[in-house]
Amino acid sequence: MITAVGVVVPARDEATLVGACVRAVDLALRRLPAGVACAVCVVADRCDDATAAVARAAFGDVPGVVVVSRSARTIGEVRDLGVARVRELLGTPAARTLLLSTDADSRVTPGWARAHLARARQGYHAIAGTAELSAPFSASARALSRYDDVLDQARTTEGHGSVYGANLGVRADAFDVVGGFGPRATGEDHDLWRRLGQAGFRRCYESGAPVVTSARLRGRAPDGLAALLSTLAEDTVA
């Protein structure tokens, strides 16, 4: 039985967005069933703005910590750092702890944490949610259609088929077995998902736990969602 939920939020110069992100996480955690412990860790990764201060001010009543990291780390290592700190806050056994990952440029929906928890309590070790764009990233109808095509191509008989670091849940014991995110500069979410599957852990896609994520064309990860959106937008210019 999962009795604790920890949320990790990597942030790099996200002072304008991290406050809304943390407040949305706080609201979602308040909707968890009674008796479920919760905690949040924002990792302010080499920030040159007020990301850390804004995040601290946004925590509300939920137990949380901001880790200021000045060392050069890959996004996988940044997420792992956040996982370690949130687990320290919770202090619960790995098999009873659900780790949720999102991004500072994203806002989780009110039922987000509860939907992930329900799946974990059904026996799933990893849950992949969906991501909705905060606004159209291009005025081109063709570009929007191409993005919809990408989502359609990802669908499988098991569900929506997409995996986002901005919307991922993993039970801590399964996370430990496969070695966490690891030192990956990009694609850390897909790599973790793949290794969990290879290790035989139960995975599922959950459409009822969406996040609303930034539709910007320049992101932090070299091959992340922003890079995909940028490519789709560029392809429509010709």
- Tens of pLDDT, residue by residue over 189-230, are 999 999 999 999 999 999 999 999 875 545 565 555 555 555
- Per-residue pLDDT at 238: 45
Instruction: Please classify residue 157 by burial: count the beta carbons closer than 10 Å to its beta carbon, then call 0-12 exposed, 13-18 middle and 19+ buried.
Output: exposed
Stated pTM of the model: 0.88
Residues 82-106 have a mean pLDDT of 97
Domains and CATH numbers, the chain: 4-134+160-215 (3.90.550.10)
Q: Which residue has the tokens 């990291």?
A: 69
DSSP-derived secondary structure for 159-220:
B-----TTSEEEEHHHHHHHTSS-S-SS-HHHHHHHHHHHTT--EEE-TTS-EEE---S--S
**pLDDT tens string 34-58:** 999 999 999 999 999 999 999 999 9
